[in-house]
Structures are given as C-alpha cells and as structure tokens.
C-alpha cells in the first residue's frame, strides 16, 4: 500500500483527467469508419478496462497489475466487432 497521501491525491487527479480523455476518445470514434478504426477501438477498450479495474480497487493500491478475465476479453471483442 502507498503511504504517501500526496501520491494518492495526484493519482486521483490524473484518473479524473484520464476518464475525461477516454470519454472524448469514445465520442470521436463514433464518427469514424468502424472497420478502419477497429484495431484502435480494440486497444482503447482494453486500456479502458484496465483503467476501470484500477479505479474500482482504489488509487492507493499500486500493484499487482490488473488482470482482464476471459469474459471481459470476450465482451471487448463483442463490443468492437458488433459495435455495441
């Protein structure tokens, strides 16, 4: 666990910024060609899932690295391929 409370506050502020960036990225991709941007959307969804896992467990915990389960991976594939 992190003992420096300032580091936690900085990570929480960065998380707010990143959350806004993810929202903007998803908005921009709505207007792009779905087939051409498919690899980008895969990557975006994967990193968003990592971010959500870290957000849910709290920013005071620095490790271990989050793990994306099989169900989450299949959900990401479904979202990107079927655009849901």
* pLDDT at residue 3, rounded to an integer: 57
Q: Please list the ranges in the chain whose pLDDT falls under 70.
A: 1-3, 84
> H-type helices in the chain, by residue range?
5-29, 38-57, 70-82
Distance CA 79, CA 84 (A): 5
């Amino acid at each position: 666990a992190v003992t420096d409370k300032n580091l936690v506050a900085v990570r929480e502020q960065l998380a707010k910024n990143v959350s806004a960036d993810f929202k903007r990225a998803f908005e921009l991709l709505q207007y792009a060609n779905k087939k051409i941007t498919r690899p980008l959307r895969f990557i975006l969804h994967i990193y968003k899932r990592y971010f959500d896992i870290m957000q849910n467990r709290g920013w005071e915990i620095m490790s271990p690295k989050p793990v994306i389960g099989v169900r989450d991976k299949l959900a990401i594939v479904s979202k990107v391929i079927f655009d849901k």
